[in-house]
Amino acid sequence: SDKTSLYSGSPFSEIIELNVGGQVYVTRHKTLIAVQDSLLWNMFSKKSPKELARDSKGRFFLDRDGFLFRYILDYLRDLNLVLPDYFPEKSRLQREADFFQLRDLAKRLSPRMIKDNSMSEEISQSDTEDGAHSSGTMRSPSLDSRKSGYITIGYRGSYTIGRDIQTDAKFRRVARITVCGKTALAKEVFGDTLNESRDPDRPPERYTSRYYLKYNFLEQAFDKLTEAGFHMVACSSTGTCAYTSNDPNEDKIWTSYTEYVFCRE
């Protein structure tokens, strides 16, 4: 059916607000119905607004990966997809394409098609999921091909010491683990455990100090860095102490900020 006539008779407004896994997107109705028979096409052309789930603010809700959805939306705008130079989440994006019933996109993201597809230049050659090399054998990137550089891990933690130190101490409540360094290195090491929401679409050769991890265990971050060939070269920490009240007999709250510098030569 013709998209224009379909849209003109639609009960949906021209501008649609979506909540996808907690991430808010604003787009045009015609963008969501760009691919006939896709999941979004069925939702926004075959159903009424009352039939679709909404969040507390009235946005249409989709319980999917909110960060990867931006690539789904980019594809729907002109049926073309340009990925960052280093993109470690290709297989997850293919899964999202399958869910949204975007068959052409899913096919272009499949490991078998990626070498012959025009997108092959848009996806990092270091992606181990791209399949066999010309020799026909599977191999992971060699240590020689890994780029050298530094990654700094930072965290701000706190702990409380009560009057009875042995029973009331609550140690290392980590609020967030930050990642500073070159974008490509950070994505290589941490992959889909890296939260890029504060600095999205950062070019791979640029530096960032706004990434953070989706977990709060320092040891997990250290393991990731070690597996990628990094080793710790420096560490620094600062701390302050405050009372919970004006009474010096009350609990003391210590807060600290610590940075660990890792290097791969």
Task: Please list the pLDDT of the chain residue by residue as tens digits (265 residues).
Answer: 334 334 456 789 999 999 999 899 999 999 999 999 999 999 999 899 999 999 999 999 999 998 899 999 999 999 998 887 777 788 899 999 999 999 999 998 987 665 554 444 444 444 444 443 333 333 344 444 578 899 999 988 776 665 555 555 555 566 789 999 999 899 999 988 888 888 887 787 889 988 989 888 889 999 999 999 999 999 998 888 776 666 666 667 778 889 999 999 8
151 contacts 230 by C-beta, under 8 angstroms = yes
Q: What is the pTM of this model?
A: 0.46
Phi, psi of 121 (to 5 degrees): -80, -15
Q: What is the pLDDT of residue 169?
A: 55
Using an 8 Å Cβ cutoff, are 43 and 99 in contact? no
Find out if CATH 3.30.710.10 is the number for domain 15-109: yes
Q: Are 25 and 70 in contact (CB under 8 A)?
A: yes
Nearest Cα to Cα of residue 116 among 135, 131, 100, 101: 131
What dihedral angle (degrees, nearest 10) is formed by the CA atoms of 159, 161, 164, 166?
Answer: 40
Q: In the block, which residue shows the tokens 């052409």? A: 104
Question: Is there a contact between 195 and 208 (Cβ–Cβ < 8 Å)?
Answer: no
Per-domain residue ranges of the chain: 15-109, 148-163+171-264
CATH-assigned architecture of domain 148-163+171-264 = 2-Layer Sandwich (3.30)
Residue 153: predicted pLDDT: 94
Q: Degrees (nearest 5) of the Cα angle 184, 82, 139?
A: 50
| Distance set, CA 226 to CA 7, 221, 229, 237, 263 (Å) | 53, 9, 5, 21, 10
pLDDT of residue 253: 75
